[in-house]
Chain A
Amino acid sequence: MANEDLELRKAFFTESVDILESIEEQVSVLEVSPGDLENVNGLFRGLHTIKGNSSFLSLDSITKVSHAAETLLDKARKKEIPVDKVVVALVKKVLSCLQSMIMDQNTDLDVSEPVSLISKFLKGEKIVIDDNSIVDEKNATQVANQKIQTTKFIKIDDVKVNKLVSITRELELLRYSLEKTPEKMEVLGPQLDDLRFEVDLLVSKMSRLTRSLSGIMFGIRLVPVGQVFNRFPKVVKELAAKLGKDIRLEIKKGNAELDKNIVEAIADPMTHLIRNSADHGIETLEDRKRSRKKAQGVITLDSYVRGNFVFIEISDDGKGIDGDKILEKAIEKGIVPKDKVGSYTNAQKLSLIFAPGFSTAEKVTDISGRGVGMDVVKSNINKLKGTVLIESEPGKGTVIRLRFPMSLVVMFSLFVEISDSCYGIPVEQIDESIDYNAGEFLNEIPQGSDPSKFMEVYSIRSLLWGQQEDAKKSLLHTLKFKAKSGENKLFLVDEFLSIEDAIVQSLDSYIAAMPGLQGATVRKDGSVATILNPDSLLDIASKVKPFAFVPVKEKDKTEDVNLADFLGFSDGSSVA
């Protein structure tokens, strides 16, 4: 067996053992509450995943038996058949088959009995199930199959790791307060000098230790996102062969890291997305030729960090998705009412492919299945506190971005005051800070002037809170962000407070969805400061009129003095 195959099989078995565990639980729920539709759906998805994965590895018995059970459950979830004792018994029979094949890695078991029982049952024939029957070992033809050693991990109780992380976080806060102590002692007088020096020394030692500890603790759960990409070249190769298309998978070397649980859990939704790209996205050879595209279609995987988020990108250069066609289909299927779609943006139209029950597949195939793919993808990503974003241009291709908040991250941030509240902005996202006299602000660009010689000024107070700017101020502090769309935009803040390390915590996803924010941090005094998201602020700003205009200033060393002071730069050079 080729090494590549071994790796894939290893991954399949490791993943399937987990899925089987949940299937086992779901089967016991099925016995006591057969009417639980969510449970039936869960069972169906589990079997669907096993079927899909096994079909790529040509583990035919597993594919066959899980396909049969999937068909049975599909009818049950559509309420075409009731979930009665026979259905439960059939599912249990399949589960036992799968357990024998997957746990013992004996993949060539004879599965004709459960498969034919299910097919007879679905045809309405009477079948007799012996509840105690399990797959007869004697009938199982054991083929010499290379046993695969699944990777062994040391399991550490999640609760314990979380407790350690939480203690580390409290320790960090303590460090922040302690670091300020020598300063406070200084004002008490020179007699305390020796003691101050001693405390200073101890604090700096402790700081070093807590910093290293934090570094380890906050990273202990993180693994490279790219790890999961390695399983896909084979998947794509097989897909291309099955579909008769020429497809290349390009993996970009991103360095993003995510929580181990997330990385393990995204493999499955990613597989769905990649299958969809190959099946529906990349055109047939003839179609590509007709569109004057290169014969070889490309699917690209990438991962990167932006602000407090990790993005995973799956893009293809296929035929793209037509928002209007999607909308049409969604109306046809009764997913959205016809009278409410008038104002739908293209993004909203595209997002309908994630609605339950939506499928653009003309027929059921064992590649992209029965249209369970996309809504399962969304619900799985949501469970991991992630978001799915989709962009597509008909004829050019589709980009699907999975966005996950980084659970804990230390960001060197500038703290500013706006309307008596404190906000943080990651320094790496700030280009420069510029101060203006109130007199320099103009309501409009003077007639006949070149607009490119003016900067647009936006008020964060008004963008976030809808409040007016204080007209009486004489000196105005502005920030320019590093984002590409921020080149001509400045943002007003009231005061610069400090620059310090902030442990940024991700927000509950419904709060994170509110515009302008990317996280929050606990400050030294125990209060919470939200961390602003420059990209999102720029986005909001692009939809409103600027508060004022100012002439572009030549980059003058003295202008950066505020930010530079905090950073301890004496020459006033830009911090960014």
Chain B
Amino acid sequence: MQHENLSVVIFEVAGKAFAVDLDLVDEVVPTTKITSIPNSPPFLLGLTAVRGRVVAVIDAAKRFFQRPNIFGYFLVCNVRGNLTAIAIDQPIIAGDVCIRSLEENESTLYLSVLDMDKRFILKSFERLDSEKKEDGSVTIKKTGQIVHLVNADLFVSHEMASKVGEVA
């Protein structure tokens, strides 16, 4: 089976598995109190404090599926050069993960049943179980878990980002 290793954090949003590049993630923390911001888009939940730093909180479910969701954790990521907390259901795994990239038609199929904005998805893959045996050989098993690698940059919308340095 064709497989490769990917350095990611896999997490759940509204029961679906997503991943972001491990390099972009600062830490994962349980949710804390959020202060809302006036005149902000619905997916921008507000501000929270992580280790004394003020960071913006973005609701991944609202961003991906335009619907609210109960979240338990903040994935503290570097988005467009700013530290941003992404509200997620829960983290699944962080580190080197063995995966199989989906064929294009397979990927299209999975994405077609996923009711979300496809611009967020960089690629889709299946998570594999790799087991090292005593003789040093590695067996790879399918898990059937489909994971979508997301483009963390898009958590903050282009419209919002374009306000950066707005010329008035």
Does A421 sit within 8 A of B, measured CB to CB? yes
| Top-6 shortest CB links A-B | A382-B165, A351-B167, A464-B38, A513-B163, A509-B164, A508-B82
Query: Using a CB–CB distance below 8 Å, which chain A residues touch chain B?
Result: 166, 169-170, 172-173, 347, 351, 354, 378, 381-382, 385-390, 421-422, 464-465, 505, 507-511, 513-517, 520-522, 526-530
**Within the assembled complex, what's the spacing in Å between the Cα atoms of A168 and B156?**
29
Residue of B nearest to A506 (CB): B54
Q: Which of B103-157 contact A (CB under 8 A)?
A: 156
A528:B156 contact, CB within 8 angstroms: no
Task: Please indicate the chain B residues that have their CB under 8 angstroms from the CB of A387 in the complex.
Answer: 165-168
Q: Which of B17-38 contact A (CB under 8 A)?
A: 32-38
Q: Quick one: which of B46, B54, B84 has the most chain A CB within 10 A? A: B54
B165:A514 contact, CB within 8 angstroms: no
B82:A505 contact, CB within 8 angstroms: no
B51:A166 contact, CB within 8 angstroms: yes
B35:A508 contact, CB within 8 angstroms: no
Does B161 sit within 8 A of A, measured CB to CB? yes
User: Which secondary structure dominates where chain A touches chain B?
Assistant: mixed
24 contacts between A and B (CB under 8 A): A166-B51, A169-B52, A169-B53, A351-B167, A386-B165, A387-B165, A421-B36, A507-B47, A507-B54, A508-B84, A509-B82, A509-B163, A511-B40, A513-B163, A514-B37, A514-B40, A515-B38, A516-B39, A520-B47, A527-B33, A527-B35, A528-B33, A528-B34, A528-B49
The distance from the CB of A26 to the nearest CB of chain B, in whole angstroms, is 19
Contacting residue for A382 out of B34, B39, B164, CB 8 A: B164
Q: Quick one: which of B33, B39, B53 has the most chain A CB within 10 A? A: B39
Task: Please indicate the chain B residues that have their CB under 8 angstroms from the CB of A422 in the complex.
Answer: 35
Contacting residue for A510 out of B32, B38, B164, CB 8 A: B164
Task: Please indicate the chain A residues that have their CB under 8 angstroms from the CB of B82 in the complex.
Answer: 508-509
Task: Please indicate the chain A residues that have their CB under 8 angstroms from the CB of B46 in the complex.
Answer: 528
Task: Please indicate the chain A residues that have their CB under 8 angstroms from the CB of B47 in the complex.
Answer: 507, 511, 520, 528, 530
Task: Please indicate the chain B residues that have their CB under 8 angstroms from the CB of A508 in the complex.
Answer: 56, 82, 84, 156
Task: Please indicate the chain B residues that have their CB under 8 angstroms from the CB of A354 in the complex.
Answer: 167
The distance from the CB of A58 to the nearest CB of chain B, in whole angstroms, is 34
B165:A378 contact, CB within 8 angstroms: yes
**Within the assembled complex, what's the spacing in Å between the Cα atoms of A390 and B167?**
7
Task: Please indicate the chain A residues that have their CB under 8 angstroms from the CB of B52 in the complex.
Answer: 166, 169-170, 172-173, 522
Task: Please indicate the chain B residues that have their CB under 8 angstroms from the CB of A513 in the complex.
Answer: 163-164, 166
The distance from the CB of A517 to the nearest CB of chain B, in whole angstroms, is 7
Query: Given the known A-B contacts A166-B53, A169-B53, A508-B56, are A526 and B39 also in contact in the complex, defined by CB atoms under 8 Å?
Result: no
The distance from the CB of A261 to the nearest CB of chain B, in whole angstroms, is 13
B37:A517 contact, CB within 8 angstroms: yes
Q: Quick one: which of A385, A508, A513 has the most chain B CB within 10 A? A: A508
B49:A511 contact, CB within 8 angstroms: no
